[in-house]
Structures are given as C-alpha cells and as structure tokens.
Amino acid sequence: MSQVIGKPINRVDGRDKVTGKAKYAAEFQVPGLAYGYVVSGTIAKGKITRIDTSEALSLDGVLQVFTHENRPRLAWFDISYKDQDAPPGSPFRPLQDATIKYSGQPIALVVAETFEVARYAASLIRVEYKEEPHETSLEANLHRARPQKHGVADLLKPPPPKPKGDFNTVYEESPVKMYGRYSHAAEHHNPMELFASTVVYEKGGKKPKLTIYDKTQGVTNSILYVSQVFDIPFKNIRVLSPYMGGGFGSGLRPQYQLFMAVMASLELKRSVRVTLTRQQMFTFGHRPATVQNVAISASADGAMNALYHDARGETSRFEDYTEIVTNWGGMLYPPENVTQDYKLVPLDVYTPLDMRAPGGVTGISALEIAVDELAYELGMDPLELRLKNYTDLDHNSQKPFSSKELRACFQQGAERFGWSKRQFEPRSMRKGHNLIGWGMATGIWEANQMPARAEAALLVNGKLWVSSATADIGTGTYTIMTQIAADALGVPMEDVLFKLGDSDFPVAPISGGSWTAATVGMAVHSACEAVGKSLLELAKKLAGSPFKGAKWEDIEFADRQLRLKREPTTAVSLQTLVDLNGGKAVRETSTGLPNALKQKDYARATHSAAFVEVMVDEDLGTVKVTRAVSAIAAGRILNPKTARSQILGGMVWGISKALHEESILDHNVGRFMNHNLAEYHVSVNADIHDLDVIFVEENDTIVNPLGIKGVGEIGIVAMPAAVANAIFHATGKRVRDLPITLDRLI
C-alpha cells in the first residue's frame, strides 16, 4: 500500500530552510551568552614552552582564557574520549598538555562577552614553542607503511581479505596486463556551515543541566562524549541538532568546539558558544591522501584472471583511521587470483575522517581507471570489458548479491549517453582546439542497515507524531521518514510530524555510510506498525466490532482508516480509534533491527555506472565536463526528488574531486596552506553543465522489508574515474594523480 513512498515529494523542511526559520547550531540565542574563540597552534610538532595570556586577560570583556595549564581536570582514560566513530588508538584531547601533535591544533580558548572581543584577545596570546622535526609527507614516508591496528572499527571496515590464487604467476604469464600507480591529495569536507556548539547552562542538583545545540551527524554521539568526558549524567544533558548545513562525514565525530564550549560553560557556569573559523575547518578530520598500485591481467578475450590492488593511506600518530580502499575489486570482478593490501602511514597530522564514500571513491577511482587501461591494452571497448567480467557474486565473500541491477545501469546509462556511437581510439573527436572524450566507470557502495529506535504516536487530534534521534544532514531524512510514516498508517503527509536531532528521542546511530534511510526508515516503519497493532486491538473493542477475529495480516491502513483488506468498505477511522484510548495518544516505541538471518548469505551493495563527456583544450589543458549520466541501482527509491539531489551532489563532488579538490600541505611547515574557500577549490556553478540521473528498477526483499539501500554515497563513487577516463579518451594522456589540474595536461 504505497501512497507517497516513491513519489517525488518536495522537502517538508524546505520552506523553513529557505525562509531562515530553520536554525543551526550557532543561531540559537540565549540570554547571557558568552563567546569562545579558539587559538590555533602554528607548528606541526613539539611542545609549548610558554603561553602568555596576560594581555588577553587584561582586556575589558574577556572572561577567561583556557589553556593546558589551567584547564579543569577531566576524564583520565582514553575510553571516555572514544566516540561512536573513533578508530583504534588514543583520541585527541584538546588542551590535554603542552604537546603539539599537528599544525592548527587548538591550544587555547578565549571566552569573552562578545565574539569580537574574544577574537581580538586571541590575537594577543603569545606562544613559544620548542619545535621537533615533523613528518607530513605521505610520499616521503611510504617505507613506514604498516598494517592497521585492529579494533571495533574492523566490523564496519574490515581489512582486505587474504590473497587467493597466485597473482604473481598468473599475472606474469598473462598475454594482456596493465599496471598503474595512483594518488590523490588530502581533501577537507568544508560543509558550508561552520562547526559550532551553543551550550545553554542551567543550575541543576549536584550537577548542572546542559542543553547543547551542536553541529553533529549524531546527537547520541555528542551526548555520550560530553557525559563521559565531563562526568555528567545523561539526564542532565540534552543535545539538539535539528538542522545541519552539510556534513559529508565531518560531523561523524564530536569536533573540538564541542569540548571547548562545554568545558568553558561548566567552568564559567554560564552559557557559551564556540564557532570555528573557516581556517579552523582545516584543523580536524579530512579525507586521507592515498597512494595506490593496481595491476590487472586478462586472457586475450578480455576475461580478467589476476588482480592486485594495494593502498597506502595517511593517518595520525595517535589513531589508526582506516577505510575500505582495496576490497572493491574483489566485489566487482571475478578474477581467481587476487591480492588486496592496505597499509597506513602515521604522520604528524590530525586523524583523517570519513568523507563521502570514504575509501570507496578512493579505491574505485584507481581501480576503474585501471580497468579502462586494461581495456586499452586489450583493444576492447571499456563497457564491453566490464560486461565481459560481469558477476552476480561478491568474490571476496563468495556470496551472491541480494540484488544487483548493474547490468541495467550499464544498458540504460549507455543508451541515454549515446555510448554506442563512441569511437575506441583516443583523440578521435575534436572541435577547434578542444579535444572531446567519452569515459565511463563503475561504482559500488555498501547497503548497510544498523539498529535504531523510533517512537510513533497517534495523537488525540488524529495527527501522527514520529521521532528518532537521527540527523538530517541535508539529505532529506525529514521528508522520507514522513513518507514512510504516512504510508505505514495510511495518513496524508500533512498529518505527520516527524522530528529528529534531539537526544531525548529514541536512540539512532550516527548518520553516515548511506545507512540512514534503511536504518531509521525501518525503525519508523516498525514504530508505526506497533501503533497500528495497538489500533487493531482498540478496533476489536468497538461495539459489535467487525474486526474481532481479524489478524494483523487481514487489515490495512489507508485514507486515515483501518480497514479489512478483503472488504475495504469495512473500515474505522483512526480518529475513532484514538478516541477509544481514554484521552491518551496511542504511543509506541520500537526498534528497527537488521534481519541478520536473512542477510547473512548475501552481499549487499548499491551499484552505479557513470558516463562522462569532457572537452579538453589541447594547448591550455583546461577541462570542461560538458555532460554526465549516472545510472544508479540502489533498491527502492523512497523519493526520486531528494534521491536525485543526493546523486547530483555526488556527481558534482566527483567532478570536483577529479578536477579541483586538494588540501595543499606544505611539508616545510607541516601545515595545510590553502585553508579557505577561495583557494580550496570545489566545483562552482560555471564548472557544472548537463547532469542526468537514472534510477534503474531494483527490487530487493533481503536488505530489509522496504527494499531500501541508501543513496548518500553511490553518486560520487564512479565519477572521478569516469572523468579521468574521458580525459584519456580525449587526449591520449593517462593521468593517474587527482586532481587533474591543467598543469598535468599541458
């Protein structure tokens, strides 16, 4: 009974967002608010030998300056600082001691009556350091690569499977082979909204009460962190994050402004806000710079027989950030002889952090350029090579996919793009100085579901209230959850009020990994079903009830009614039923759990095929992506409008990653230097031209009863390789290092 699921419905929060009614973490005003400004360190490694705050403290309006010398005593053990996305290691603790671990490290917090005074005072703090030699270059430290440390993170990010077959021998003996070395620079998330926390302080009993407006992809993560680090019981803390001005993974861990704001608030016993600057947005997690080697061989007919993929990613000295970079080849292609290897290089930088399709877009970018290279070694059309090596099995786990409509992606994408008209030879299309090229690539991302809880309540006025402590990081969670709830109980969208981003709501995991739609969707569905079951019980109590013998399977909800499936005219309105509940709402809380039993024999993933046209100025090296088509197989699409926006965003970022994005580390000073949005280049409107999205039909009853797979990541995965392959087709130049700036093409 799908009334609104699957329809291209406008965002339910759209009006609030465009009219400014939607408030973000730094916009909540409270009386007596003090403002914190973070002082950032300037060296990459060493010790603070002296920090002089006297001049700052003497300014009118300055309340306090916190440094490692006067910070309060806090939780002792690492475990207290571990958030839900913490990799193995020892989490960074702001103001812990005099040690400098990376450039830009927060070393002091100035709190003042106004933001301007705090900022000015921050400029008056004098710091002396004893510098130590630092290492920030991945390339220069590849010899130090070592396997990742293991921990809970392995569950979601397993290390590569053990080698199978005999890569070396088969590769050596194969008639056709390729080898390439690929790299990309670090990237920073740079959501438009700056990281901010507004902490509202109230006197409590033994401990104060804190209401915290935080920029986070999971209020549960923030409340856990604050409670453990500052030893305050959950009941005294409430974390709210109703809206987020972009996350992309940067909000998966509590960032240091949260620590700073809470610390200052507790010490000063008043409400405090800390907002980071754009420059400081470059002083925490980032997509790690990575170097990869890929080698693939095939028999003369194009059947792949051996695959090698290794990756060396940077991490910090204190935590082992890992991502799945090299496992994808074994999931996409069937060669029998496979070696996949992943190692880390600890450097004097902050711990990297999941960024949209973490590891996936990294690994697939290299792998799918490599597959294109193999196609050219074979003299075979790149799409034909992929079809030749098509498999319905995940060869890493030897399990079939729960569903995989990648073939339909290839067919529909190729048709929309006009791929059949492509000439194989590079440099075969030209318009004046511009060489034109067509490239394609495959994408894959996991379709995960986590446990989550939600509450549903049919209120006495007949409206349906639904809540879960999840996040809407701009993706459309508010809208799709409203749709799921509306359909579950047969009420129109306008009768549903879905709320999120509040730690008082039933618990949900951090919003990442493309799992929110499935995870929270199933929790919402389950809570609504529970309400439905209670309503059926109430219906049975009606005088002369026609529902007396009815089982759950016998009824359905539609048009604000509960009715018999076989006889829809036998119906009772939901309002009538809630009126029977003694003046109370019909309220249920329920958990959406992945069906492990059903899922365990299958690999679960979304797939994509991206087709890209570029124009490259032969003399000047400038690249323009003139058009791109992405065909996506991602299970059931709850809302084609918000889902399309997600894919478009991923495609834009894929173009941006291929051509523009790069956080530039100066290894002399060990510091990211282009730390602003003028010099950290993301694609702008003028870079983006014709983008087309196709969702292919994909029915999947194994991932979850609603068939939801999630679309947050899959849009970006295939794009960078497709752009790079199109550039090769245009120019005959194979560029294996991203971003492909014009100097790499002249």
Per CB under 8 A, residues contacting another protein are 40, 42-43, 103, 116, 119-120, 123, 279, 432-433, 619-622, 624, 659-660, 664-666, 668-669, 671, 673-676, 678-679, 681-687, 741-743, 746
- Beta-strand ranges (E) seen in 565-667 are 571-573, 586-592, 605-617, 623-633, 665-666
Residue whose entry in the numeric block shows the structure tokens 């939801």: 708
- Provide, rounded to whole angstroms, the least separation between the CB of residue 277 and another protein: 8
The DSSP output letter for 110 is E
- Provide, rounded to whole angstroms, the least separation between the CB of residue 127 and another protein: 10
Q: Which is nearer to another protein, 473 or 655 (CB)?
A: 655
- Provide, rounded to whole angstroms, the least separation between the CB of residue 673 and another protein: 4
Token output for 139: 């390339």
| CA-to-CA dists, residue 286 to 283, 289, 646, 662, 690, angstroms | 9, 9, 21, 11, 29
Q: Which is nearer to another protein, 43 or 702 (CB)?
A: 43
Instruction: Count the Cβ atoms, other than its own, within 10 Å of residue 551.
Output: 8
Closest CA to 264 of 466, 530, 62: 62
- Provide, rounded to whole angstroms, the least separation between the CB of residue 521 and another protein: 37
Q: Which is nearer to another protein, 244 or 723 (CB)?
A: 723
Closest CA to 347 of 93, 83, 143: 143
Q: Which of 323, 446, 613, 713 is catalytic?
A: 713
- Provide, rounded to whole angstroms, the least separation between the CB of residue 129 and another protein: 11
Q: Which is nearer to another protein, 100 or 385 (CB)?
A: 100
Question: To 10 degrees, what angle do helices 719-731 and 640-659 make?
Answer: 50
Q: Give the full edge-to-edge strand order of the sheet including 304-315.
A: 337-346, 304-315, 290-298, 176-184, 737-738
Q: Report how far residue 183's alpha carbon sits from residue 6's, in angstroms, rounded to the nearest whole number.
A: 39
Closest CA to 352 of 252, 276, 225, 224: 252
Backbone angles phi, psi at 116, to 5 degrees: -65, -40
Q: Which is nearer to another protein, 124 or 577 (CB)?
A: 124
SS3 state at 106: strand
- Provide, rounded to whole angstroms, the least separation between the CB of residue 428 and another protein: 21
Q: What one-letter code names the amino acid at 412?
A: Q
Whether the bond into 87 is cis, omega within 30 of 0: no
- Provide, rounded to whole angstroms, the least separation between the CB of residue 660 and another protein: 5
> What radius of gyration do the chain's Cα atoms show?
27
SS3 state at 552: helix
Backbone angles phi, psi at 178, to 5 degrees: -140, 155
Q: Which is nearer to another protein, 398 or 676 (CB)?
A: 676
- Provide, rounded to whole angstroms, the least separation between the CB of residue 313 and another protein: 21
CB 531, CB 462: distance < 8 Å = no
Q: Which is nearer to another protein, 355 or 745 (CB)?
A: 745
Q: Report how far residue 405's alpha carbon sits from residue 310's, in angstroms, rounded to the nearest whole number.
A: 28
- Provide, rounded to whole angstroms, the least separation between the CB of residue 744 and another protein: 9
Active site residue 661: no
Q: Which is nearer to another protein, 3 or 741 (CB)?
A: 741
Q: Report how far residue 378's alpha carbon sits from residue 382's, in angstroms, rounded to the nearest whole number.
A: 10
Q: Which is nearer to another protein, 82 or 660 (CB)?
A: 660
Q: Please work out, in degrees rounded to the nearest 5, the angle formed at the alpha carbon of residue 451 by the alpha carbons of 449 and 455.
A: 120
Q: Report how far residue 118's alpha carbon sits from residue 112's, in angstroms, rounded to the nearest whole number.
A: 5
Residue whose entry in the numeric block shows the structure tokens 């920029």: 215
- Provide, rounded to whole angstroms, the least separation between the CB of residue 432 and another protein: 6
Q: Which is nearer to another protein, 269 or 433 (CB)?
A: 433
Q: 684-689 — which CB contacts under 8 Å span 24+ positions? A: 687/624, 687/625, 687/655, 687/656, 687/659, 687/660, 688/625, 688/652, 688/655, 689/624, 689/625, 689/626, 689/627
Q: Report how far residue 372's alpha carbon sits from residue 729's, in angstroms, rounded to the nearest whole number.
A: 10
Q: Which residues are catalytically annotated? A: 713
